[in-house]
């Protein structure tokens, strides 16, 4: 089987000044994951490596540099899903996990449940060797400054360099046919403490099914949940007349028609063919082309 990898760094009104950084981040994520896939490695390792690069990059809203909630804290959500078993590992409301995707993976591989939140999720992650951090270590200077401006004035996208979203995601297929999707986010800026969006919810922020494909969504979570966007996009891959691009576009169109909201998604169909769509001004994404070259765009 030909391996395949696609990543995204969020669909939002990415300002001109952040375009190069978003594109470079997607490229580094592809490099990290592709190296593993090329050497015959496991899709889950490739996916995790790609997402960690994006989580560690403060230009994206996941892990370090996530948006702060109203209380000025980072609260992260993440999910990993296995297309073969339809099993997911999902975590929400994390303050102390350096790379939330690692906690999601621990739930996927070692937990009898599929979703853990808050203290229980952190305790489980710690018990399973996931690196922890001080909550302050997840706060970037830029997001702290944005939060202070929102607090002094009122919440506004302009205070966040024009962006309100920047969730990250990836879908990976390895040469043995192992197939996983993942999404990781700090959620929306100035969210109420305890708010959970679409990202860690199976079928909304992420879905993977070996009969259809793997999907990671981004955009306004409260709207994406209404149309269960990731599962919907995967189902749009079912008709034989469908293509990855058409399925992605149809799901984003549904989001627009039914909720008037904006967002985007990336996907791989069950054979590893990439597709993406967004109705935001921009989306940061990248995938490995059939000739093994990296395509990245914002």
Closer CB to ligand ASP, residue 36 or residue 208? Answer: 208
Q: Taking a C-beta distance cutoff of 8 angstroms, is the pair 184, 61 a contact?
A: no
Stretch that binds ligand ASP, among 23-31, 107-115, 180-188, 269-277 (CB under 6 A): 180-188
Query: Please, what is the minimum distance in Å from the beta carbon of residue 186 to ligand ASP?
Result: 8
Q: How far apart are CA 242 and CA 89, in angstroms?
A: 29
Binding mask 196-235 for ligand ASP (x = CB under 6 A): -xxx------------------xxxx--x-----------
- What's the first-to-final CA gap in the chain, in angstroms? 29
Residues present in the chain in total: 298
Closer CB to ligand ASP, residue 43 or residue 79? Answer: 79
Closer CB to ligand ASP, residue 183 or residue 273? Answer: 183
Name which position in 3, 9, 10, 89 contacts ligand ASP (CB under 6 A).
10
Which residues lie across from 264 on neighbouring strands? 218, 278
The alpha helices in 175-243, defined as continuous H runs, are: 221-226, 229-235
Give the distance from CA 33 to its chain's centroid: 15
Q: How many residues of this chain bind ligand ASP (CB under 6 A)?
A: 16
Set 167, 218, 262, 280: catalytic member: 167
Q: How far apart are CA 208 and CA 104, in angstroms?
A: 15
Closer CB to ligand ASP, residue 139 or residue 168? Answer: 168
Q: Taking a C-beta distance cutoff of 8 angstroms, is the pair 79, 200 a contact?
A: yes
Tokens of 32: 């990290």
Query: Please, what is the minimum distance in Å from the beta carbon of residue 211 to ligand ASP?
Result: 25
Stretch that binds ligand ASP, among 102-110, 193-201, 227-235, 254-262 (CB under 6 A): 193-201
Query: Please, what is the minimum distance in Å from the beta carbon of residue 219 to ligand ASP?
Result: 5
Stretch that binds ligand ASP, among 45-53, 86-94, 123-131, 164-172 (CB under 6 A): 164-172
Burial string for 250-267 (b: 16+ CB within 10 Å, else e) reads: bbbebbeeebebbbbbbb
Closer CB to ligand ASP, residue 18 or residue 36? Answer: 18
Site for ligand ASP in 55-114 (CB under 6 A): 61
The alpha helices in 65-140, defined as continuous H runs, are: 100-110, 118-127
Q: How far apart are CA 146 and CA 139, in angstroms?
A: 11
Name which position in 187, 214, 272, 275 contacts ligand ASP (CB under 6 A).
187
Taking residue 289's Cβ as centre, other Cβ atoms within 10 Å add up to 10
Q: Taking a C-beta distance cutoff of 8 angstroms, is the pair 50, 5 a contact?
A: yes
Query: Please, what is the minimum distance in Å from the beta carbon of residue 11 to ligand ASP?
Result: 7
Closer CB to ligand ASP, residue 43 or residue 223? Answer: 223
Question: Does residue 82 sit in helix, strand or coil?
Answer: strand
CA-wise closest residue to 280 among 223, 219, 229: 219
Q: How far apart are CA 29 and CA 34, in angstroms?
A: 8
Stretch that binds ligand ASP, among 93-101, 195-203, 267-275, 284-292 (CB under 6 A): 195-203
232 assigned to active site: no
262 near ligand ASP, rule: CB under 6 A = no
- Position closest to ligand ASP via CB: 221
Residues identified as active-site: 167
Which stretches of the chain bind ligand ASP, using CB under 6 A?
10, 61, 165-167, 185, 187-188, 197-199, 218-221, 224
């Amino acid at each position: 089987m030909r391996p395949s990898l696609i990543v995204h760094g969020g669909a939002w009104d990415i300002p001109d000044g952040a375009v190069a950084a978003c594109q470079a981040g997607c490229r580094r994520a592809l490099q990290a994951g592709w190296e593993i896939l090329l050497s015959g490695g496991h899709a889950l390792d490739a996916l995790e490596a790609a997402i960690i690069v994006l989580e560690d990059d403060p230009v994206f809203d996941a892990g370090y540099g996530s948006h702060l909630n109203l209380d000025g804290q980072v609260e992260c959500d993440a999910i990993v899903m296995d297309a073969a078993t339809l099993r997911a590992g999902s975590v929400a409301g994390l303050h102390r996990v350096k790379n939330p995707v690692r906690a999601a993976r621990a739930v996927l591989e070692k937990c009898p449940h599929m979703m853990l939140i808050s203290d229980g999720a952190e305790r489980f992650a710690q018990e399973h060797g996931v690196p922890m951090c001080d909550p302050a270590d997840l706060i970037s200077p830029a997001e702290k400054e944005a939060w202070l401006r929102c607090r002094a004035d009122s919440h506004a996208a302009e205070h966040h360099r024009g962006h309100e979203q920047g969730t990250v995601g990836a879908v990976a297929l390895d040469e043995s046919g192992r197939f996983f999707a993942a999404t990781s986010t700090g959620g929306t800026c100035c969210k109420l403490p305890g708010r959970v969006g679409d990202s860690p919810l199976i079928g909304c922020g992420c879905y993977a099914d070996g009969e259809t494909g793997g999907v990671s969504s981004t955009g306004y979570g409260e709207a994406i949940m209404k149309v269960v966007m990731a599962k919907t996009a995967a189902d749009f891959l079912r008709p034989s007349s469908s293509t990855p691009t058409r399925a992605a576009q149809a799901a984003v169109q549904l989001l627009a028609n039914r909720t008037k909201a904006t967002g985007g998604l990336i996907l791989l169909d069950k054979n590893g063919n990439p597709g993406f769509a967004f109705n935001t001004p921009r989306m940061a994404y990248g995938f490995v082309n059939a000739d093994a070259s990296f395509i990245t765009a914002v």
